[in-house]
Structure 1
Amino acid sequence: MLSFLTRRVLAGLATLFAAIFLMFLLVDRSIDPLADLRESTASNKQQLIDQRIELLNLDTNVVLRFFHWLGNFVTGDPGVAWRTGQEVGPMISHAIGSTLQLVTAATLLSLLLGVTIGIVSALRQYSSFDYLIIFLSFLLYSLPSFWIAVLLKQWGAIGFNDFLRDPVLSWVVITVIALLGGLLWMLAVGGSVRRRVQTFALGLAATFAMLAYLQLTDWWSDPQLGPILVLVLGAAAAFAITGVSAGLRNRRALFASLSTVALGVALYFPVQGLFDEIVESHLLIAGMGVVAVASGVLIGFLFGGPDRGVSMRSAGITALVVATLVFVDQVLQVWVPYSNALGGRPIPTFGDRTPNLGGNYWVQVLDASTHLILPTLTLILVAFAAYTRYSRSSMLEVMNQDYIRTARAKGLPERVVVVRHGFRNTLIPLATIVPIDVITLIGGAVITEAVFARPGMGSLFINALRGAEIEPVMAYLFITASFAIIASIVADIIYAIVDPRIRLDA
């Protein structure tokens, strides 16, 4: 491993140097900091040109200017954007922070949804559900992202904000949505006619009950989870997680997960007081999340069972879900004052924060989250289509392998065959795709950021290039190139972890 990392890091540094050198030459040729002065009609035009040449050191050889910039950059001085007078360091810090928020949310959600639905589609090959997912995948993949973004601004922000003025769904609409929900679950689960009818009825009843609860409690005006919804959603997650990772017949894993939910609900009110007193930063929240997961793992360890690791994994994932629900509930508790501060239109259509909003930590978190909704949905819809196709095709290939037939011939349950033998190998192609996709997004979702006026890395690059400011452009290129090289190394390591046939020290 050490030998592999050493070789890859040295090769990466050489590649980075060559790429940055070539990009500096190309950027220097493509921008003209004197363009506005050459078109000027000022009487002291030549004097202004000479002053700018001296300011930007343009009379020095481009190679020497590159090494001068590189020396300053690696020693912690990325320079100043000469046109705006802003230091490049804070510009990059704010831009990459905004982009990382967007990339993290979009990547995690699109991966979770895309891989899950893709695998279900593969397991239900040639069914109505499979054809539906194929159609939606190709449709979303072919749509331009700017068009999706504009539609979301119109219906996801403006339309939803208008709905919040009088948030009432008619019972006809609720019934139609419930019927569609039951139909979707029936198509996804499949099985015999009796099983389809049962699934349809359960899906219809669950969807109708959820929408009726939201309607009768006026949830749209004051959205909160509370201990009851945390308990219901946490218990549902416990059953789902245990069913996939261990099987519901593994009572110890199921009881460990349900005990984790019970502990989370029992600590709901004490944690509320803790939030009010000591919350100061994201690091503290992350630390509390780690403690929650560790508690779930410990509960799984104490329950034990034939396979202690399965119980620990199920309870740990359940603890993460419950902790997330409690965190979301705390954020939603400031929804009413936040919405009132924005004139009853809480879903924004541009930017990454509301200027001069004020408020405590939770108001700031809610504000950042609402600004993430639309651009995140845009990226999710595009990436979801790709990940669904990748996971579906990979799962179909894996499920036709000899070792899958051998596992079934040995009498292993279908859940074990799919989860332990099929799912793990399905991740192998994604292990090389996802890291590169993440770095591509960190470079800036230029179109999405432009539509939503989000000051991320893509917007910074475009604005600096238009302003002929080489320092921000080169800082952007250096960071994205570095991340791309790191992503390539990480992809190789993940590939070796997922596929034991690969040896990095070979």
Structure 2
Amino acid sequence: MLVYTVRRILGAIPVLVLASLLTFVMIDVSGDPLAELRMQTPAPTEEVIQQESERLYLDRSMPERYWLWITGVGGNGDIGLLQGEFGPSTQGQQYEIGPAIAERLWTTLRLVGIAMMLALGLAIIAGCVSAMRQYSKLDYTLTFIGFLCLAMPTFWLAGIVQASGVELNQLVGGQVFNTIGDGRYNAEGQPLWDQFANAFAHMALPTLVLMLTSFAQWSRYQRTSMLEVLNSDYVRLARAKGLRNKTVIRRHALRTALIPLTTVFALGVAGIIDGAILTETVFQWRGLGDFFITAVENNDSYALMGWLLLSGVLVILANLIADLLYGVLDPRIRYE
């Protein structure tokens, strides 16, 4: 297992290099980082534009800029991923992209992580129950809920949930849910219970939005996979031997049925990160979603490249974890 893990990590390096190259090229050809500066009134002088162009390394060729972005060799100490620098920002010399990403990362990870774990747990339960009670009223109900959540766009669902939270607060005459902000600094220095209550009040609604969008898709995959396994020969044989139904489901059917869901879960990381952008925008969270929107508005190419590369790393890590889980779920898989 250790050898396989190391081999998979080493195999991810070329993927990251290719991802960084594609990211750089796409962002580089998408627009002019100095477009907003050129449109200012009064118009800046050519000297100002030239200085800003040199600061952002736009006076160099694309291959040279890519080399600078990766290595930092030949730069001014503010660029080079291998040196921990993401590059200069169009938002000013005082704005450092690396620390900004690090500050926002935990805000997004706690939202996305909790939402994914809740969605995965509920999807497994709902999928298994639907499969074991196929065509029952409960199955139809869970199917309706799943398709309903699938049909709702993330931004629309987030708006509905936010409005419902506001109405609930007005109904009870108190602040049950906070519908704006992530509340990171609201309870600093307060007792542990107050900090927990503050975190719950701010996280409940955005977590619910991300959970529902992922749960809807994953539960359908789990139901389909579970139905296929329940109708397999080895499950029929286990029941014919007199094993209890709970034992058959837990030891034989469920483990095999989780394998396709593991794949879908890994691939769904990119989708839930995209959903976090919209959710954080609606609930005004200062996470990576807000970082991405701000970078787009300011045409901050190096910030966008850093965000996209970080997203790629998270997707690669999720797929690595999924590969390792295959061996746990299916004893026939061996890593040698």
Say yes or no: does 1:81 pair with 2:89: yes
CA displacement 1:192-251 (0-9 Å, x = unmatched): xxxxxxxxxxxxxxxxxxxxxxxxxxxxxxxxxxxxxxxxxxxxxxxxxxxxxxxxxxxx
Q: Equivalent of 1:486, from 301, 317, 325?
A: 317
TM-fit CA distance, 1:37: 2.8
Counterpart of 1:351 in structure 2 is 181
1:427 paired with 2:251, answer no
**In 1, distance between residues paired with 2:333 and 2:279?**
37
- Whether contact under 8 Å (1:432, 1:495) holds in the other structure is no
Match of 2:328 in 1: 497
CA distance in 1, matches of 2:30, 2:244: 62
TM-score normalised according to structure 2 size: 0.90
Amino acid at match of 1:158: V
Judge conservation of contact 2:214–2:272 (CA < 8 Å) in 1: no
* Residue of structure 2 in register with 1:466 after alignment: 297
Cα pair distance change 1:354/1:3, threshold 3 Å? closer
- Is 1:152 the counterpart of 2:158 in the alignment? no
- 8 Å Cα contact 1:427/1:498 also seen in 2: yes
Name 2:21's counterpart in structure 1: 21
Number of paired residues?
326
Hey, what does 1:109 align to over in structure 2?
118
Question: 1:33-432 residue pairs with structure 2 within 5 A?
Answer: 33-42=33-42, 44-71=44-71, 72-84=80-92, 85-155=94-164, 157-165=165-173, 344-353=174-183, 358-362=188-192, 363-432=194-263
Distance in 1 (CA, whole Å) between partners of 2:200 and 2:313 is 28
C-alpha contact 1:31 1:465 (8 A) present in aligned 2:
no
- 1: CA distance between counterparts of 2:31 and 2:259? 42
Query: C-alpha separation between the residues in 2 aligned to 1:368 and 1:436?
Result: 28
What does the per-residue CA deviation read over 1:449-496, in whole Å, with 9 as the maximum and x for residues that have no partner?
Answer: 111111222221222122122222122122121222222222111112
Residue identity matched to 2:91: R
For 1:88, give the aligned amino acid.
I
Describe the SS at the equivalent of 2:333. coil
The alpha-carbon deviation at position 437 of structure 1 amounts to: 2.1
For structure 2, list consecutive stretches of 5 or more residues without a partner in the other structure.
Answer: 72-79
Distance 1:501 1:17 in 2: 33
Equivalent position SS for 1:93: helix
Asked if the contact 2:131–2:139 (Cα under 8 Å) also holds between the matched residues in 1, the reply is: yes
Taking structure 1 as the reference length, what is the TM-score of the superposition? 0.61
1:450 equivalent to 2:281? Answer: yes
Distance (whole Å) between structure 1 residues aligned to residue 206 and residue 330 of structure 2: 34
Is the 2:210–2:275 contact (alpha carbons within 8 Å) kept by the matching residues of 1? no
Q: What is the alpha-carbon distance in structure 2 between the residues aligned to residue 399 and residue 10 of structure 1?
A: 38
Cα separation, partners in 2 of 1:464 and 1:43, compared to 1, 3 Å: closer
- Give yes or no for contact 1:444–1:456 (8 Å, CA) kept in 2: no
SS of equivalent to 1:432? helix
> Which stretch of structure 1 is more off in the superposition, 7-16 or 426-435?
7-16
Quick check: 1:446–1:459 contact (8 Å CA) kept in 2? yes
Question: Residues 443 and 130 of structure 1: is their aligned pair in 2 closer, same or farther, counting only changes over 3 Å?
Answer: closer
In the aligned structure 1, how far is the partner of 2:308 from the partner of 2:86?
A: 12
SS at match of 2:291: helix
Paired residue type of 1:12: A
Aligned letter for 2:255?
R
CA distance in 2, matches of 1:500, 1:37: 60
Unaligned runs of 5+ in 1: 166-343
String of CA shifts for 1:236-290, please: whole Å, max 9, x gaps. Answer: xxxxxxxxxxxxxxxxxxxxxxxxxxxxxxxxxxxxxxxxxxxxxxxxxxxxxxx
Post-superposition CA distance 1:164-187 (Å, at most 9, x none): 22xxxxxxxxxxxxxxxxxxxxxx
Q: Quick one: distance in 2 between partners of 1:129 and 1:346?
A: 31
TM-aligned CA distance change 1:2 to 1:418, over 3 Å? closer
Identity in percent: 39
Counterparts of 2:287 and 2:127 in 1: how far apart (Å)? 30
